[in-house]
Amino acid sequence: MAALEIRPLTSDIGAEIHGVDLRQELDNDTVAAIRQALLDHLVVFFRDQPITPDQHLAFAQQFGPINVAPFGPKLDSHPAITVLDQIAPVGGLAARWHSDNTYMPNPPLGSVLRAVEMPDIGGDTCFANMYKAYEQLSEPMRALVDGLEAAHDLTYTLSRAIDEGLAKEHLDMMQAEYPELVRPVVRVHPETGRRALFVNSNFTTRLVGVTEAESDVLLAFLLNHVRSPEFQCRFRWAADSIAFWDNRAVQHFAVPDYTERRLMHRVTVEEWD
């Protein structure tokens, strides 16, 4: 087993892992230690890891089956790798606090994101701890949200993406494939048993079983609450940096403050059956 060094970024979320070369095949003990660090810190970071696309996929597959994103550009040679390539931010989906793919019947375990080319200034990513977001609510508010459900809808996000070039027929196809889903506002993490807020700005459209006015006020409060800085860490990327986050208890936000190319490759991991 590699001698891992785990350096927490904050007391609540984020840690850098040193002492491992992700270009090499990892033994079971090392994989288990990384997984435990992920559960403990919710997002883990690796620096100076010049991995190939094959090695990127091989690392991610040790934590679960690969989830191929239903839309977005892919790496030609490796269609399971999503390409995020921007010269300047356009206020897109990543520049909003969100968990990935909560409109899907089985949202992913997490994602392994690798920086390929980064701007000299800007382009950081912030991550927020949804356990803490839940725990910092007052006891009466926790009791309220524990009993609520919310609608998650891909249409809400993709309809905005038409302005950014998404074809209308593609939107119609996605709407048919991914109808609105209703899921709890508070999710119980399947491995830790801890409770986490599970609403986000990209896909949560309304609270179910309350009036529209009640939904508007309470959902706006929750979406603002998850942005609190005390729940967050912020990662400064460099080429060959890697972030691996637990999508089940984390939201993230790509800071739109750069004017040079920001090229990243993402592999998304599903839960084991």
Would you call 152 a catalytic residue per the annotation?
no
Rounded CA separation 17/152 (Å)? 34
Rounded CA separation 165/178 (Å)? 20
Would you call 266 a catalytic residue per the annotation?
yes
Would you call 100 a catalytic residue per the annotation?
yes
Closest CA to 186 of 142, 137, 146, 131: 146
Rounded CA separation 48/57 (Å)? 17
Q: Which of 41, 152, 195, 252 is catalytic?
A: 252
Q: Which two tokens stand for residue 65?
A: 């089956």
User: DSSP states of 193-232 as a string?
Assistant: --EEE---TTTEEEEESS-HHHHHHHHHHHHHHTT-GGGE
Is the separation of the CB atoms in 247 and 60 below 8 Å? no
Question: How many other β-carbons are positioned within 10 Å of the β-carbon of residue 46?
Answer: 21
Q: Which of 152, 262, 265, 266 is catalytic?
A: 266
Would you call 47 a catalytic residue per the annotation?
no
Q: Which of 41, 56, 98, 187 is catalytic?
A: 98
Q: Which of 100, 152, 183, 248 is catalytic?
A: 100
Q: What is the DSSP letter of 84?
A: E
Q: Which amino acid is at 20?
A: V
Report, as residue numbers or ranges, the catalytic residues: 98, 100, 252, 266
